[in-house]
Amino acid sequence: MAEKSFTVLDLLDFDLKGHNSLNLRCLCGRSGLGREITLPDLNRPGLALSGFFESFGYQRVQVFGRGETAYLEKLIQGGILDNVHHLFSYHIPCCVFTHNLVPPKVFTGLADAAGCPVLQTDLESTDFSGRLLRLFSDIFAPRKSIHGVLVEVYGIGIIILGDSGVGKSETALELVHRGHRLVADDIVNIRCVNGNVLLGQGANKMISHHMEVRGLGIINIQQLYGVGAIREQKEVQMVVKLEEWDAQKVYDRLGTSQKTEELLGVKIPALEIPVKPGRNIPIILETAAMNERLKTMGYHSARDFNQNVLRWIESGEAQTASHGGYDSY
């Protein structure tokens, strides 16, 4: 469900551009523009117009294409209005007529009386449905705010986590200086789209590309490094946790086992990077990003190395090399 109410008026006011535009306009029923849309789906009301109201998805946006509109006109011409009256007895969010179709006056009169908005678009039904569902997927997506820094490194979206003062912002600043891009610093809003894609962006577009560096203060990355150094949003494809070096802790030195972090029900690769003087964390993150790209292409460096070692041992070359070593003394 959406974090805040989403109304028909919000749907009309959405400023979508290009191939995302819905091209909607209100024909009647303006008193109901405050009706909430609670389900991210749509319904074609052909069965309801024929009198079958079992499992009628009245909570959804009702889309009238050419078939539904032609059948509606036939009902009205025949004076069969019971099903139309019954349709508006439900609390429908709104009705949308595609193809620039004009609903019959009887229909708009009933819609006005019921306070149900009737909208019109010049898009075809299939095109409009696809655009509307994409918008709903974004509006109703589960969301979460995380304290961290989101950067894009070699096309991989990496969210850097860690305790305050561990060096998250400084690491991101060095990555930007090396030609990578900042998405958000401090607070990252993450939403899950289509059930398996995590998109991250700044909590506030006005300040998301500013960065706080201790001893330096607030800096504007866009002004310092140019518009090419920032992104509005990016898919989160890796989690990196920075932590102070702990001599008692055993860190992964082979990388044969893949750790994951679960965010909003989606598991993504995760790394724990110990921080101490002398370690170049930005270079490590660049290497991690390139290594992750190799994994997506089907090549796993650590597993390939492990398999090569096993084949070397099984071939007997390891024993020969060992004996050769002793013979050389």
Domain ranges of the chain: 8-139, 143-304
* pTM of the complete model: 0.73
Three-class SS of residue 53?
Answer: coil
The pLDDT of residue 1: 40
Tokens encoding 314: 């099984």
Low-confidence stretches of the chain (pLDDT < 50) are 1-3, 326, 328-329
**Phi-psi bin for 194: left (phi > 0), alpha (psi -120 to 50), beta?**
left
Residue (of 245, 141, 153, 156) closest to 193 by Cα position? 141
pLDDT for res 62: 97
* Active site (catalytic) residues: 147, 168, 186, 253
Q: What pairing do the DSSP bridges indicate for beta strands 260-263 and 266-275? A: antiparallel
Model pLDDT, residue 245: 85
Cα separation, 286 vs 296, in Å, equals 16
Give the pLDDT of residue 329. 44
The first and second tokens of residue 173, run together, are 């600043």
Distance CA 40, CA 133 (A): 7
Domain 143-304: which CATH number of 1.10.10.60, 3.40.1190.20, 3.40.50.11290, 3.40.50.300: 3.40.50.300
- Write out the two tokens for 44: 């074609």
Per-residue pLDDT, 7: 94
Domain 8-139 has CATH 3.40.1390.20: yes
- φ and ψ at 126, to 5 degrees? -65, -45
| d(C-alpha 165, C-alpha 84), whole Å | 64
